[in-house]
Structure 1
Amino acid sequence: MHLPPPARAALSFRPGLAGLAVGLGLALPAGSPAAAQALQWTGQLAAASELSDRGLVIGPRRPTLQASLTAVLDRRWTLGLGTSAPLGAGRQARVLAQLGRYEAVSDDWQLEGSLGYYGYPGDAVAGRAERWELMAGASWRDLFSGSLTALHYPAWPGQRAGLQWAMDFAGRWPIRGNWSATFSLGRADLPVLPDRRYSYAGLGLAWQDSGWRVELNRLGSSATARAIMGYSARPRWSASASAQF
């Protein structure tokens, strides 16, 4: 789950994060009349084959429904709330609160930063992924992005030497019409063993038009993650569909 940026189209940093704003996060163009308003609202609904993040499945591997609402302030600041829940899994809801800042430095480049809280109330297994994230990144047009993230897991006191870190890259390449090839890759500290690092990547195909987006990805993680995390890190296909309003 990742809330979309305000000023113009920009890539989500983790296309494998099945659900909101996967791949390309649509937004109003910076020069549009609506963008000049002091306050905008953007909503998104999505369905995904699972909830995954940085190459790992979060909680049970089940179809997931997701929703988000983002307020855009002065075309630079955003405040967003999101939630998701796997089908047939009781009250295992996930929530996200995020404060973001976006700054266009040229027609092609945009700097981005955010502070986010990821919570998993009522889910003892997925609750291990509860965390704070502080991210700084940049994107080039609507084609490529990269970010560096500091993570703090309050559910694991005394088991981490300082903060954990993650580096993520994502991109898309237009093929024809509304179709694009997508990729994602990254490297991060393993949540349960911060002295171990693992890599993850994804390749996919996306279709996008008029606020709708459908994407199919092949996701995988390195042998370190597969050996320690088991099924959560196994290679898999991941599909999602979303609509923005």
Structure 2
Amino acid sequence: MKGPCTPCTTPAALTRIGCLCAMSCALACVCAPLRAQTSTFNGAVALSSQLVDRGLAITPATPILQAAASWTSASGWSAGVSGALQTRDPGHLSEGLAQVSRAWSLSSAWQMQADLLYYDYPGNERARLFDRTEAGIDWIYRDVLTVGLSATSMTHGADHQPRGAADVDFHWPLAGHFSLALGAGVAQYLVSPYDSYGYVHRPPPGVYGYGHAGLFWSHGAWRIELDRIATDPAVTRHGGNLVAQPWVGTVSWSF
């Protein structure tokens, strides 16, 4: 459940529900570099009901327009950029992301991917303290199970000590173009909700859990997903604006 709109990331990274504009092509971006004979370019656009990162709300519950573009090579390298903005405030970018990845085939069933990501929230006052650099590694079993570990360093402030996170994601195809999506994770707080928004009387514990359960329909370039978000009760009690809506929906189109 890592989370934000990553154009060529693994399913685990896309458990950041707010960045689902690229989820429709996530599996292809992981696997294509290992099978393709030439370099390829991919893109996606999407509309989501909220931007959520590892169970925490990055934007208010408002329509979020997202776009992503990625490049993958036959040698396993990929790179991409993505952006998101609130449709009610289109003049300010709510989130920008750049990513470089390298994928390897470990066996006929297992793959591994290493990622380096940079997050920036230039027009998002709510999430400005979440600007960061993140390094991660994921193990993928037959495009069904993904296990990921990551370390994050904050861009602003004096505390650049790495924060860790671990995620597990599961995708299972059902009948009629439907699939089940489940995910869970645990992470250290990137910043204290007290420092970010001033809505709590004391900082929450340093580690919190999160998860989601969802159903998505995909056909061709189109994908529709609805996810139920679950976050550690400590966030609900003390998080103020960090609390995400219980349901997040996304419609995306990839090309």
TM-score normalized with structure 1 length: 0.88
Q: 1:174 — aligned with what?
A: 173
> What do residues 48-89 of structure 1 show as CA deviations (whole Å, max 9, x unaligned)?
111111001103221101111111123400111111101112
1:138–1:147 contact (8 Å) kept in structure 2: yes
User: Equivalent pairs: percent with the same residue?
Assistant: 27
Q: 1:188 — aligned with what?
A: 187
Match of 1:218 among 207, 228, 232: 228
The residue correspondences of 1:52-91 to structure 2 (distance < 5 A) are 52-91=52-91
Q: What displacement does 1:171 show?
A: 0.9
Q: What displacement does 1:231 show?
A: 4.1
Q: What displacement does 1:32 show?
A: 10
> What do residues 111-170 of structure 1 show as CA deviations (whole Å, max 9, x unaligned)?
011100010112222111111010011111111101101001122323x6x210111111
* SS across alignment from 1:126: helix
Q: What displacement does 1:244 show?
A: 1.1
Decide which structure has greater strand share: 1
> What do residues 164-209 of structure 1 show as CA deviations (whole Å, max 9, x unaligned)?
0111111112221311111111000112239611000111101112
> What do residues 78-114 of structure 1 show as CA deviations (whole Å, max 9, x unaligned)?
1111111011125331111100011111221110111
Q: 1:242 — aligned with what?
A: 252
Q: Does 1:152 align with 2:162?
A: no
* SS across alignment from 1:225: helix
Decide which structure has greater helix share: 2
Q: Does 1:3 align with 2:7?
A: yes
For the aligned residue pairs, the C-alpha RMSD in angstroms reads 2.3
Q: Does 1:208 align with 2:207?
A: no
Distance 1:196 1:155 in 2: 19
* SS across alignment from 2:17: coil
The residue correspondences of 1:107-186 to structure 2 (distance < 5 A) are 107-158=108-159, 162-186=161-185
The residue identity in structure 1 corresponding to 2:184 is L
* SS across alignment from 1:20: helix
Distance 1:186 1:23 in 2: 21
The residue correspondences of 1:29-68 to structure 2 (distance < 5 A) are 30=32, 35-37=36-38, 39-68=39-68
Q: 2:97 — aligned with what?
A: 96
Distance 2:24 2:236 in 1: 24
The residue identity in structure 2 corresponding to 1:77 is W
Distance 1:24 1:213 in 2: 10
Q: What displacement does 1:234 show?
A: 4.5
Distance 1:32 1:100 in 2: 12
Deviating more after overlay: 108-117 vs 188-197? 188-197
Q: Figure out how many residues of one structure are paired with residues of the other and give that number.
A: 237
Distance 1:157 1:62 in 2: 32
